[in-house]
A and B are shown apart, each in its own frame.
Chain A
Amino acid sequence: MSVTVHLSGHLKAFSSGELEIALPGEYKTVGDVLNSLWQRHLALRDRILTEHGDIRQHVNIYLGSKDIRRMDGLVTPLTSNEVHIFNAISGG
């Protein structure tokens, strides 16, 4: 199913200003969606994931309203067509 990715405003510097990105196609997992997102905006990948492909500690990714860390992470099966990427509220 087609998926829409919603980005935190902090990430627009890495997405050519786009904050809502529709990704037509068929996807099985959240990771598949993100791989498609990187095709559109490669700069997002290194800012959202570590060099080893893990979600950065202070980045949260939601499938619908559920945090994928509490599910199966990047291999969480796609059960919603809405993905949200936020920076955590950590900071100083």
Chain B
Amino acid sequence: MGKKGTLLLVGTAKGLFILRGKADSKDWTIDGPHFAGRAVYSAFYDGRAGRKDIWAGPVSWHFGAELLKSTDMGKTWDAPDEMRIKMPPATKKSLENIWQIAPGADNDTLYVGVAPAALFESKDAGNTWSLNRGLWNHPHRKQWTPGFGGLAVHTIVTDKKDPNDIKIAISTGGVYQSSDGGQKWKVTNTGVKAYFLPNQYPKFGQCVHKIASHPKKKNTFFLQNHHGVYRSRDGAETWEEIENGLPSNFGFGLTVTDNGSVFIVPLDSDGKRYTCDGKLRVYRSNDDGDTWKALTKGLPQKDAYEVILRDAVGSVGNEVYFGTKNGKLFGSPDNGDSWKMIQGSLPEICCVKSYAV
């Protein structure tokens, strides 16, 4: 990333860790755990418009989930007496967890995806928040069902050039998208399998684990499903399998680097949910998923039974980072060609977010 360093926000089951360093160096500073004892499934650094805001969504299993902000890189956190994100009374639902914090197209819009399967939006850089009613009132909502992690909007993909274009993924519901800034939502799961349902290609009900956009090809998207890896060439409307060369089509995390390489970490089926054959292998595709290559340099290839969660794979530029439930944090400075372990004994890693700062 040139002269810039890399900021890693690593959410774990026991708090948030903030790491600073250079991708190719051995020396990372680590600060944390912030919110010790609370699980952090979402974090985001907002460097837009001169801001240096770190957002995080720690959840206390006793005292609830809340959205917190730091304007001094984690030295202090702004936790308002009244929580920022609340389910409105009419929903008769309570906030369970915050799964995703994502920027909108302009400098001030932020989105938050939560359990129970709702989207919140802020148009003023996080000062005020409101429930997205279009999604909440979607007629499918009452038929969405929870997965192991609850029923959540866990993925938000926005288009920097089109503020009206929002795509989300729900487990279990699948991919939904809006072309009018979130007023109306349509379901776009065509081609995505739900092997756990009698009708294996339903209109909705898929357990989509993660979607990501191609940085240069506007209509190209990638999807890691609950069994299934897919590509879309038509703006996430329809999906085709891209599993040639993969040891398994099960997994959670997915990221796409600036040069268009796609990264996933296959796991051995939803029955086992650990890395295939006891080998920690990241798989990369440089041709939009037509073929995949196992990346192993610097990764353990024996007795490595790791689990990588849906937001625990991330990238900035052509650096790639991922964390495991066993608390190992790995980084690659060279688009996945080689890897180093940055931390080996963190708590269970729930999310890894990387930024050039």
Contacts and interface: CB of A to CB of B under 8 A. Distances in A.
Contacts of B94: 50-52, 54
Interface residues of B, number: 18
A51 B62 contact: no
A48 interface: yes
B271 interface: no
B61 A51 contact: no
A47 B63 CA distance: 4
Contact of A42 (B60, B61, B81, B87): B81
A80 to B, nearest CB: 23
Nearest to A86: B62
A87 to B, nearest CB: 4
B82 A56 contact: no
Interface string B70-97: 0000000001011100111100101100
Contacts of B79: 43
B64 A47 contact: yes
Give the residue among A11, A14, A52 with the most B Cβ atoms within 10 A.
A52
- Interface size class, chain A: 20 to 34
Contact of B83 (A10, A46, A91): A46
B274 to A, nearest CB: 19
A50 B61 contact: no
B92 A90 contact: no
Contacts of A52: 87, 89, 92, 94
A58 interface: yes
Given A50-B94, A51-B87, A42 B63 contact: no
B81 A87 contact: no
A10 B62 contact: yes
A5 interface: no
A88 B81 contact: no
A92 to B, nearest CB: 8
A74 B292 CA distance: 58
A59 interface: yes
Nearest to B60: A47
Interface string A55-92: 01011000000000000000000000000000110111
Contacts of A54: 94
B89 A90 contact: no
A91 B60 CA distance: 9
A91 B64 contact: no
Nearest to A91: B61
Contacts of A10: 62-63
18 contacts: A42-B82, A45-B81, A45-B82, A46-B64, A46-B81, A46-B83, A47-B60, A48-B63, A50-B94, A51-B83, A51-B86, A51-B89, A56-B63, A58-B61, A59-B62, A87-B63, A88-B62, A90-B61
The 6 tightest CB contacts between A and B, nearest first, are A47-B63, A87-B62, A43-B81, A42-B81, A50-B94, A51-B86
